[in-house]
Each structure stands twice: as structure tokens, then as C-alpha cells.
Homo-oligomer: A and B are copies of this chain.
Amino acid sequence: RDAAARAAALARQNSLTKPPGSLGRLEDLALFMAEWRGTDRPVITKAQALVFAGNHGICAQGVNPYPQAVTAQMVANFEHGGAAINQLCRANGADLSVVALDLDNPTADFTTGPAMTEAETLDAMNRGAAAVDSGADVLILGEMGIGNSTIAAALTSALFDATPADWVGPGTGSDAEGIRRKIVAIEKGLALHGGQNAMATLAALGGREQAAICGAVLAARAARIPVILDGFICTAAAATLHAADPRLLDHCVVGHASAEPGHRRLLAAIDKKAIVEFDMRLGEGSGAALALGILRAALECHNGMATFGEAGVSEA
């Protein structure tokens, strides 16, 4: 992080024609971009959105009302421009790429063994990292994977607190019985795989799109590209890095607070405040792409406003 760029950006904010601080979190976002991009006048010339898709052996436990084939069907929908994330990326000027990770070869059912080997985990992390465009000014991350709200709750239960019921919600639409099945599956997973370090937990309870998100977050940090995380599932994936070292998410903001109940608890656990709260619970990066518009607005104000001196406006 570039403290000098942040300080220069703050000085500029305080010279603009508004009461100091009156643009609230728009000012915070401008300073955040300044320190990570290393300039007091950060711009977004290229915004990249990456959606990682994976399939999960845990679906054998009846944790999701949709058939697992929907993951590939939705990938095709992303590729043809028909999903919510396509519209939100177009609306806010992000280039969307979808990375399908071995959809025909789901991870293993974590109630009977680790979801992934270490080699599979690292391969997915590498594919996530390799997908990051080093020329991007900001990276939006999202995911698609039938069953992966159970994966997210398993990860957060293992990383933060071993009470699955606190982390489980309806996901794409589970009823009370479905939620019970999710809790039972996670309890079995924790009994088998609890108490390990962050990366071993990711392998045992996570999935390929979760590992890919971790790889992309690390690659973005190395390239000083700020990241907008999406909802519960995306944030839970990144939280495995936070469990290893909280500073690994310093370059990340969270686009929205999901209606999936575990997300607010997770935001508190990693000490992040969402940009938007709009009762969304779709995934795909949709909340992160929505927040991109607000990030762009923050930089438009930062770069485009006149100073008191330029405008001939009297100060208090």
C-alpha cells in the first residue's frame, strides 16, 4: 500500500467543493483505490469480472433443490449473456470472464473424505490466479456452483466457530428440511475435518471455485489490484485466506451484504462493511458488480470535482 498516494488523495478530498467528509464512504473508496493503485488520482480504465464455477460431491447429501446440471447450464447462460451478472457487468462497465472448473468431475463428498486433494486445491488456486488480468484496475469476483452455500457454511463453521446452524441459510431456496440436511452434512464434515489449518480446511471442505477465488485474490494483491468480493459464498472462500493472515484481504472490499444470513456474521468476523445492502442472494458476482457502479462514482467525484480555489467558493 502506498501511504503517500493515500495522503495526497486525502489532501485532494479535503480541497474539493464540499464540507470535508460529506461524501462519506465515497471518500473512503477513493482513498482505498489511491493507496492500492499507488496514485492520488486513481482511475478505472479496465474492470475485470471473474466468475468461477465448480461442482460439489456434497450434493449427494440432498443439500440443494436444483439438479447439479444447472451449474453447466448457468455457465452456458453466462457465455450467452443471459444471466444477471452479464447485465450488471454491462451496466457498470466490467469485462466478464467465466472459468468453469472441471464441472464433469465434482469434488468428493466431504462427509466421507476430503473434498479435494492438496494437488487439486493448488491446481484450482493456480487457475484462479492465472485468470487475473494484470492490466485491470479493479477485479470483481463471483461464483456459481450448485450446492456451494453448504460449502461456504462448512468453511465458515470450521474457520470461525463450530456451530453450523449459525452459518446455514436457505441458499438458492432450501426449505426447513433442506436446511436441516445442510446442517447434518456440515456436522459430519466438521467431525471428519475440523481443527486443521486454513489451506487444509479449504481442501477438505471447500471446492474448486472457492480455491480459484483464493488464488485470484492472492494474484490481485501481488499486482496491487483492488478486489470487490461478492456475497456469502465468495466471502467465505476469501475468508480462508483471512484465517491464515487477515492482511491478505486488505485489498478487498465486499460489494454487498447478502440476504443469506451467514453473510452478516461473516462480515463481522472479518471486520468488513459491505458497500450495498439490497437483500440480494444470487451469487455470480452480482452484488460485487452492482457495487462497481458506486466505486466508479467515488472516483468520478474524486477526480472530477473542482477545488474551493478553482471554483471560487468560500470555505467555512
> Does A22 lie at the interface of the complex (its beta carbon under 8 Å from any beta carbon of B)?
yes
The answer for the CA separation of A82 and B306 in the assembled complex, in Å, is: 4
Interface residues of A in 260-316 (CB under 8 A from B): 275-282, 286, 290, 293-294, 296-297, 300-301, 303-306, 310-316
Q: How far is A77 from B22 in the complex, measured between Cα atoms in Å?
A: 17
Q: Does A4 belong to the interface (CB within 8 Å)?
A: no
Q: Add 4 more A-B contacts to A16-B84, A24-B278, A24-B279 (CB < 8 A).
A: A73-B312, A80-B311, A83-B311, A91-B297
A32-49 CB mask vs B (1 if < 8 Å, else 0) is 000000000000000000
Specify which chain B residues have a CB less than 8 angstroms from the CB of A18 in the assembled complex.
83-84, 282
How far apart are A55's CB and chain B's nearest CB, in angstroms? 14
Check B66–A314 contact: CB distance below 8 A. yes
Number of interface residues of A (CB under 8 A): 61
Q: Is the CB of A310 within 8 A of B280?
A: no
Known contacts: A73-B314, A90-B304, A314-B70. The answer to whether A19 contacts B172 by CB under 8 A is yes
CB pair B24 A67 closer than 8 Å: no
**Within the assembled complex, what's the spacing in Å between the Cα atoms of A316 and B301?**
44
* CB-defined contacts of A81 to chain B, threshold 8 Å: 304, 306
Contact A297 B92 (CB under 8 A): yes
CA distance A80 to B27 in the complex (A): 22
**In this assembly, does A244 line the interface, its C-beta being within 8 Å of a C-beta of chain B?**
no
Say yes or no for A113: interface residue by CB 8 A criterion.
no
How far is it, in angstroms, between the C-alpha of A81 and the C-alpha of B74 when the chains are bound?
43
Residues of B within 8 A of A86 (CB): 304-305
Q: Are A301 and B88 in contact (CB under 8 A)?
A: yes
A24 touches B280 (CB 8 A): yes
Within the complex, which residue of B21, B25, B80, B303 is in contact with A278, where a contact is CB–CB below 8 Å?
B25
Q: List 29 A-B contacts (CB under 8 A).
A: A16-B84, A17-B74, A18-B83, A18-B84, A18-B282, A19-B281, A22-B172, A22-B280, A23-B282, A25-B279, A67-B314, A74-B313, A77-B306, A80-B306, A81-B304, A82-B310, A82-B311, A83-B306, A84-B301, A88-B301, A91-B296, A91-B300, A92-B293, A92-B297, A275-B278, A290-B294, A293-B293, A293-B294, A293-B297
Residue A26 lies at the interface, judged by CB distance under 8 Å to chain B = yes
Contact residue among B20, B73, B88 (Cβ-Cβ distance under 8 Å from A311): B73
Task: Specify which of A17, A22, A259, A280 lies most central, judged by the most chain B CB atoms within 10 Å of its CB.
Answer: A22
One of B67, B87, B173 near A300 (C-beta < 8 A): B87
